[in-house]
Amino acid sequence: MEVFFFWIILLATIAVCFNQEICFTEPNVEQMPTAVRADLYRGQQEFTFAMLDAIQKATPNENIFFSPYSTYHALLLAYFGAVGKTEEELVKVLRLSWAKNKKHVNLGYRLEKTLRFTRSKKMPIEFASADKIYFDKNINLTHCVVDNFKDELESLNFRDEPEKCRRDINAWIANITRNEIPEVLSADDVSSDTQMILANAAYFKGQWANKFDAKDTKPQIFYTTKSQTFVPMMHRRGTYNLAIDEQIGAYILQMPYLTSDDENKDSEISMMIVLPPFVENGLENVLEKLNAETLEMALKESMPREIDITLPKFEFEQNIELVPILNRMGINLIFSHNAELSGFSVESNLNFGDAKHVAKIKVDEEGSTAAAATVLFSFRSARPLEPTKFECNHPFLFLIFDHKSKAILFTGIYRDPQTQNLQ
């Protein structure tokens, strides 16, 4: 079974000023063109790799796990209220230059939200993602915010009841994450001066389309450049899509999740293991070449092969202070007093004080979101007589990829089992 939990939260303070209200309109959901969703999540892929690069450079020797889907959605909420140079920064970092106006972005956002909800009712996996905009009840919001974000909007009494507001927000996050993250906000995070909080909480739980057998799990060595550690390794032989990508310089394996009760139907969500060669700077070289375009090519080049997989069983949690990461990516103004967020309130100029992200992952025989792999390949034809061995025993990158929306839901790097909580 694999479970992912994560949240992102942005805290805001307020200064008084006046500005003209700016808004956008939204047609009926049935009239939404599908192209805007494709454009939006093509940009989300590019954002994912930029964020991965920033985190990797900030923590070059650590395990990494985060949800670019969650982060992207929270920043989209900030974009909808941004104007001027603040909006320009977000357009650039969120890769929204394809859109002529905010209406187009909102169409893609709404379409994804509607289709995600519809799909979730039909799939055996659990995937919930929800956005919230919490405002102090004394803030006069624009009609644009009130009209376009009814489901996301919630008014709280931060000024008089900050502790109750903190408990209410924690309870909402705990509900979305099935109580796996029960208390993300501490008493110091919310005060009577807090005016606005943007949040995204998400939960994913799924099982492999082809499970591992627990009796085959046994201790084996996981190699890093500095050490060797025994970890519980799972084993399975089966047919999986594999790309031998010379452009990226890695092997890319797709491990599907069970997304339909029809066994003959292709999986809509899979974990992609990007396995570099075990050489000095092997992972770093792959990360430099991995982007939305090279990922798309790898997916097209994948072929079904019979493979012996050796995959580590693991669990770890990561807390990320997002402000320096987002600064590195080019988002600065929303955290300064020069922030232009008058799309939220014509009477107030908001700026965000902090940004946090927590992600948790568990991988076992029932399902998984991360797997390291060492590759021992010797291909002489498209269909080798003996199964290919895919041994996950050194640092690797993994993505949880939604083939239908083309969104990257989760991303991580598994470097060192000694820094994570094994079960």
Write the CATH number for 52.
Answer: 3.30.497.10
Looking at the structure, do residues 247 and 119 belong to the same domain, yes or no? no
- pLDDT bracket for residue 262 (50, 70, 90): confident
Per-chain mean pLDDT for the chain: 81
CA distances in angstroms from 288 to 56, 58, 219, 354, listed in the order given: 11, 15, 32, 29
Specify whether 147 is located in the same domain as 61.
Answer: yes
Tell me the average pLDDT across 1-5: 48
> Which domain covers residue 151, as residue numbers?
34-206+316-361
Q: Are 39 and 85 in contact (CB under 8 A)?
A: no
- DSSP 8-state secondary structure symbol assigned to residue 2: E
Report the range of poorest mean pLDDT among 3-17, 152-166, 313-327. Answer: 3-17
More confident residue, 405 or 367: 405
Average pLDDT value for residue range 191-197:
84
Q: Is residue 324 classed as helix, strand or coil in its secondary structure?
A: helix
Residue 372 within any structural domain of the chain: no
Mean pLDDT of 212-237: 90
**Does 233 share its domain with 198?**
no
Same domain, 227 and 196: no
| Residue 379 near residue 388 (C-beta atoms within 8 A) | yes
Average pLDDT over residues 338-349: 81
pLDDT for the residue numbered 188: 82
Flag whether 276 is in a domain. yes
Cβ–Cβ contacts within 10 Å for residue 29, how many? 12
Q: What is the pLDDT of residue 9?
A: 53
Structure tokens at 98: 């394809």
Q: At what angle do helices 102-120 and 68-81 cross, to 10 degrees?
A: 140
Backbone φ and ψ for 53, nearest 5 degrees, come out as: -60, -40
Question: Are residues 285 and 355 part of one domain?
Answer: no
Q: Is residue 381 part of a domain?
A: no
pLDDT bracket for residue 335 (50, 70, 90): confident
Beta strand pairing status for 396-402 and 407-414?
antiparallel
- Answer whether residue 12 is part of any domain: no
Give residue 10's pLDDT: 54
Torsion of CA 287, 291, 293, 297, to 10 degrees: 40
Other beta carbons within 10 angstroms of residue 202's beta carbon come to 24
Q: How far is CA 28 from CA 67, 206, 309, in A?
A: 29, 32, 47
Quick one: 307 and 238 in the same domain? yes
Per-residue confidence band for 44, with pLDDT thresholds at 50, 70 and 90: very high
- Across 358-394, b (16+ Cβ under 10 Å) vs e yields bbbbbbbbbbbbbbbbbbeeeeeeeeeeeebbbbbbb
Q: What is the DSSP string of 294-305?
A: HHHHHHHH-EEE
Give percent of the chain above pLDDT 70: 85
Q: For residues 17-39, give the mean pLDDT.
A: 56
Which DSSP string corresponds to 277-299?
A: -SSTTHHHHHHHH-SHHHHHHHH
Q: How many domains does the chain have?
A: 2
Which CATH number is 280's domain given? 2.30.39.10
Instruction: Read off φ and ψ for residue 185, nearest 5 degrees.
Output: -100, 125
Q: What is the pLDDT confidence band of residue 15, given thresholds at 50, 70 and 90? A: very low
pLDDT category of residue 47 using cuts at 50, 70 and 90: very high
Judged against a pLDDT cut of 50, whether residue 337 lies above it is answered with: yes
pLDDT tens-place string over residues 64-81: 988 899 889 889 988 998
CA dist., res. 132 & res. 144, Å (int): 16
Which of 66-75, 147-156, 379-388 has the weakest average pLDDT? 379-388
Quick one: pLDDT at residue 348?
66
Provide the pLDDT for residue 19. 40
pLDDT (0 to 100) of residue 146: 87
CA 299 – CA 7 distance, rounded (Å): 29
Q: 166 and 273 share a domain?
A: no
151 shares its domain with 197: yes
Report pLDDT for 35. 80
The answer to the question of residue 329 being in a domain is yes
Whether 294 and 244 map to the same domain: the answer is yes
Q: pLDDT tens, 92-111?
A: 999 999 988 898 899 898 88
Does residue 27 surpass a pLDDT of 80? no
* pLDDT for the residue numbered 184: 77
Pairing of strands 374-376, 348-363: unpaired
Based on the fold, state whether residues 222 and 163 are members of the same structural domain. Answer: no
Q: Which helix (H) or strand (E) holds 399?
A: strand 396-402
Name the pLDDT band for 368 (thresholds 50, 70, 90).
very low
> Which of 270-274, 297-301, 315-319, 399-403 shows the lowest mean pLDDT across its residues?
315-319
Give the pLDDT of residue 197.
84
* Choice between 126 and 380, residue whose per-residue pLDDT is larger: 126
pLDDT of residue 207: 85
Is 173 in the same domain as 54? yes
Instruction: Evaluate whether residue 378 is within a structural domain.
Output: no
Q: Flag the least confident range among 89-103, 275-289, 365-379.
A: 365-379
